[in-house]
Amino acid sequence: MKRKLLPSCSPALLERCLLLAATLAACNGDNPQARVSGCTTIGLTSGEVASAVGWPLTASRGVPGDSESCEFGGGARHVQVSMRPAGGRLTVESWIEGRMPLHASAFAGVGDAAIWQPDLHELIAEEGDVLCDVSVTGRAIDSAPSSSRDVARRLANLCRTLFAVASGSDGRAHPSWRDK
C-alpha cells in the first residue's frame, strides 16, 4: 500500500505556501543581512517618523530577525515600519484579490497601489515593487471609522516619505537600497 507523504493542495494554496516560504527564507537567522538593524536599513530617525505621522515618537529599535523592519515608539503609540526592496506588487495584489485572511480595502494616493487593513491599523503600499508596510499599535488607538481613516492618512504620509528615501528623490538614498 502506497502512502501519500504530502496532502494534495490547490494551486491557490500552493501559491500561499510558496509566498510564506519565501518570506520565511528572507527572515532566516543565518542570513547575514538579518543581523543589520532594520532602523539602519530604513534610514529614518524617530523624529522624521514622528513628523510624518504627527505623534511623538522618541525611540527606535530593530525587529529581531528582520533587517528591513524597525519599531518607533514613544508614549502610548508604537509604529512598526517594514520597507522591502521587492515583492510590493505581489503583496498588495494578494490583499486586493482577497487572498489574505483579513479584509482590506484599496487606499488611493500613496505609491502605485495600497491597501488599508483597519483591524490591524496597517497600511500596505507599493511603488515600483518596493513594499512599505506600516502599522500602529497602542492603547490610544481608536477604532471608530473616522479615526481609522485618520490613522491610514498618517501612515500614508510615512510611506510617501519612505518611498522618497528609497528612490533617492530626497537626495539621500540609503546605500542598501541602491541598485535594487
Q: What whole-number distance in Å separates Cα of residue 139 and Cα of residue 102?
A: 22
Query: DSSP secondary-structure letter at 175?
Result: G
Residue 13 lies in a domain: no
Q: Are strands 130-138 and 122-127 parallel, antiparallel or unpaired?
A: antiparallel
Q: For 120-128, what is the mean pLDDT?
A: 95
Instruction: Give the range of the structural domain holding residue 145, as residue numbers without chain letter.
Output: 37-177
**How confident is the prediction for the chain on average, in pLDDT?**
77
**Global confidence as pTM:** 0.72
Cell representation of residue 8: 494534495
Residue 155 lies in a domain: yes
Paired strand residues for 69? 82
Cell representation of residue 74: 514613544
Query: What is the tens place of the pLDDT at every residue in 37-53?
Result: 778 888 888 888 888 88
Query: What is the tens place of the pLDDT at every residue in 132-149?
Result: 999 998 866 666 666 888
Q: How far is CA 105 from the centre of its chain?
A: 16
Residue 128 lies in a domain: yes
Crossing angle (nearest 10°) for helices 145-167 and 46-53: 140
Cell representation of residue 142: 481608536
* Predicted pLDDT at 32: 42
Query: What is the tens place of the pLDDT at every residue in 16-42?
Result: 443 434 443 444 444 444 445 778 888
| 48 residue type, one letter | E
Structurally, the chain folds into a number of domains equal to 1
Residue 172 lies in a domain: yes
Residue 1 lies in a domain: no
Q: Give the 3-state secondary structure of residue 79.
A: strand
